[in-house]
Chains A and B, each alone.
Chain A
């Protein structure tokens, strides 16, 4: 925090600074989204309710309204990991994020990880949340995912770079 701000004004100054940063960041993301506006990242539940202790499979989908080259590997890893494209946040009913429990192995994407996403050819991957998160307790969980790609793609094809956040879905885990 700037030292010149009186102590009691610092929360206000901090809020103003954060709002400005968020505004700038939002503008930047919007710009990125405009360059790849057709592309969207979707998270989808495969069932209305899942049995506690069993697999909790969700669908991760890249879809587009126009042809876009994208890194379609969709490897799921811990938040902040530099080599996985997708990070997932699962929150319990108390809005507490569950810890991600896997050490995930992947390398920088290869050329064949990139593909053209078109309106009729989305990229879909299924993922079992129960392997990465402790979902043995029955209840309602909120799930959202972030897709991130920094790799420019194979030569001659400019791939989407940037990040996209899926909308939040709610899943129910019930006693089997």
Chain B
């Protein structure tokens, strides 16, 4: 699977490559051939050393002091022999590197140094100071050595262009810098594929390069993959900017700007903006990384669907040492039919601080989204009940409408949210009305639904049915069923607290005598959890 190969062909990358003459290839091969006996001796010595070390460890485990000392002596002898072999090999390896650079005309002007290193276990590596190190495994063939060198020189070129500027400020193992690194690896391996003929790579080597691109590409986020694909066949150029500096502007084959590295007048990189496009030309991914003079790095990214809606956005901030300071990521899913920039139906938000990412926001986004439409912003949360449980008390007056008797009304209730938005709740109200020589006690079960109003207010219609009992000091009491429609106006504060007024509570008492109607006017207070 190699559909998404992005080939980095910017003309400035590692300069021009010249296919070497057969004599040039032979010259490198000759040096490699001279190295072979030393390599064989070294391999044998290392094998022997590993065996003696294993024997020494076993002797140590047996507490065989003499045996351990004997093996340690053998190891020391081998180390002395190996040291001399490694020095001879290093001279030949460096000679091969120099000849390959000359015969392939590899442009290494942006590299601080290029040298063989016996302890480099990979083909090669480039440090942030553009010191290139070539490992033993690079010397498989002259063409492969040229390929490995060319790869590292692409990295040096990327550093000098500012491509790696994100990384020089962030550790490679931070989340964002890893993506940056994988992109640059894709480009370096892709460049080798593009120049396979000049490098003289075998089909097997080309296949390995392609698989390498594929492996790194698989690690990329969807947005970065799209950006990388857009960079295929791109060119870059310096363009003057308004601040007296010059920006590096990378354009795709259709002339669209896919990356802009903005420089201050002293060529200090201040911002990198990247854009990827949908086939119809609309932006599909935008990312802006800003480098402040105090070392703070902020990165804002937006992924848009084909209709231009922001489906994912992130805002992150790193300190001068590359440590993640804070950030927020928002993912949106548009499930149903919506208008062009309509509301989203589901969303998920993560936020981060120095301790890592959380699934609920703990900090505001560090920067406001560039070019964000008002309709793109998440809907501010309504201040309706978002807690599952709630309890409340209330007190006021109760009027027997037919008898024109007033009493003190006291009540309490508990609620349990049952709808997904937690606005609808099953409610259990308990009320008491106190009179001289008698008391009315009522308990019911009902349902309420909270309608959010502006400024933290909410209207709560509630309907409950239950039992009401009239208990007298003297004589038998009466028992009745009650139906209680009511409306409560609440004002919520400090997230979980509320106070309110129930201006319209009517209790219809049925049975146990003639039907009666009670009106209550109460003030309420409560808390959710």
Q: A residues bordering B, Cβ < 8 Å?
A: 1, 6-8, 55, 57, 60-61, 63, 73-84, 86, 97-108, 110, 119-128, 131
- SS class, residues of chain A in contact with chain B: loop
Q: Is the CB of B151 within 8 A of A105?
A: yes
**In the assembled complex, how far is the CB of residue A78 from the closest CB belonging to chain B, in whole angstroms?**
4
Contact segment of B92-100, B213-221, B306-314: B213-221
> Most A CB atoms within 10 A — which of B123, B152, B359?
B123
Output the residue of B121, B126, B151, B219 with the most chain A CB within 10 A: B121
Partner of A105, one of B50, B53, B188, B389: B188
| A85 CB → nearest B CB, Å | 9
Interface residues of B, count at CB 8 A: 53
Contacts of B388 in A (CB 8 A): 6
> For the complex, what is the distance from the CA of A110 to the CA of B174, rounded to whole Å?
29
Q: How far is the CA of A60 from the CA of B120 in the complex (A)?
A: 13
Q: In the complex, how many angstroms separate the beta carbon of B1 from the nearest chain A beta carbon?
A: 14
- Those 10 A-B pairs whose CB atoms lie nearest each other, nearest first: A99-B171, A75-B122, A106-B122, A78-B172, A107-B208, A82-B215, A102-B125, A105-B124, A79-B173, A104-B125
In the complex the two chains form, is A103's CB within 8 Å of B172's CB?
A: yes
Beta-carbon contact of A121 and B47 below 8 Å: yes
Q: List, sorted by A's number, 15 A–B pairs whose CB atoms are closer than 8 Å.
A: A1-B360, A57-B119, A77-B122, A79-B178, A82-B216, A82-B218, A99-B172, A100-B171, A102-B125, A103-B125, A105-B185, A108-B208, A110-B208, A120-B55, A122-B53
Query: Looking at the complex, which one of A1, A83, A123 makes contact with B216 (CB distance below 8 Å)?
Result: A83
Q: Mark B193-217, 1 if CB is under 8 A from A, else 0.
A: 0000000000000001101100110
Q: Are B212 and A124 in contact (CB under 8 A)?
A: no
* Contact among B123, B127, B148, B151 for A102, CB-based, below 8 A: B127
Give the residues in chain A near B256, CB-CB below 8 Å.
Answer: none
Contact A105 B123 (CB under 8 A): yes
Give the shortest distance, in Å, between A138 (CB) and chain B (any CB). Answer: 19
Given pairs A60-B121, A107-B123, A124-B53, 7 additional interface contacts (CB within 8 A): A1-B360, A73-B137, A82-B215, A98-B171, A99-B322, A108-B211, A119-B54
Chain B, 487-529, contact with A by CB distance < 8 Å: what is the 0/1 string? 0000000000000000000000000000000000000000001
| B458 in contact (CB, < 8 A) | no
| Cross-chain contact A124 with B50 (CB below 8 angstroms) | yes
Closest-by-CB residue of A relative to B144 is A107
Query: B148: shortest Cβ distance to chain A, in Å?
Result: 6
Q: Given A99-B322, A119-B54: A104 and B119 within 8 A (CB)?
A: no
- Residues of A within 8 Å of B121, CB to CB, are 60, 73-76, 86, 125, 127
Task: State the Cβ distance, B102 to closest chain A Cβ, in Å.
Answer: 21
Shortest beta-carbon distance from B169 to chain A in Å:
10
With a CB–CB cut-off of 8 A, which chain A residues contact B12?
A: none
- Given the complex, which residues of B lie within 8 Å of A81, measured CB to CB? 181
The reply to whether the CB of B46 lies closer than 8 angstroms to some CB of chain A is yes
